[in-house]
Amino acid sequence: MPKRLRLTRRFPAAMTNDAYRRLTRFAAETGLTTDEALTFVFEHFASVTDPETLGHRVRLFKAGLDERTA
């Protein structure tokens, strides 16, 4: 039987309801827990993002942050 992933770091993370729903949906679709799903995304960040559009998406997100907090 394979060994379970050992999660050694914990940090409080805040996210929008939409982001949390997407995380839980991704976790359910892949058979992972939400912790394991986040670990997967960050360990494989370069291969799960499109480098050509990442910068543009980050700029759009940052521009929207001002609108969200106002």
pLDDT 10s digits, 5-46: 788 888 888 999 999 999 999 999 999 999 999 999 999 999
**Which has more confidence, 8 or 54?**
54
Domain layout of the chain by residue ranges: 17-69
CA distances from 55 to 50, 51, 62 (A): 9, 7, 11
Question: What pLDDT sits at residue 45?
Answer: 94
Q: Over 50: is that where the pLDDT of 59 sits?
A: yes
Task: Look at residue 12 and give its three-state secondary structure.
Answer: coil
How many alpha carbons lie under 13 Å from residue 49 in its C-beta half-sphere?
15
Quick one: pLDDT band at residue 54, thresholds 50, 70, 90?
A: very high
The answer to whether the Cα torsion of 47, 30, 33, 26 is positive or negative is: positive
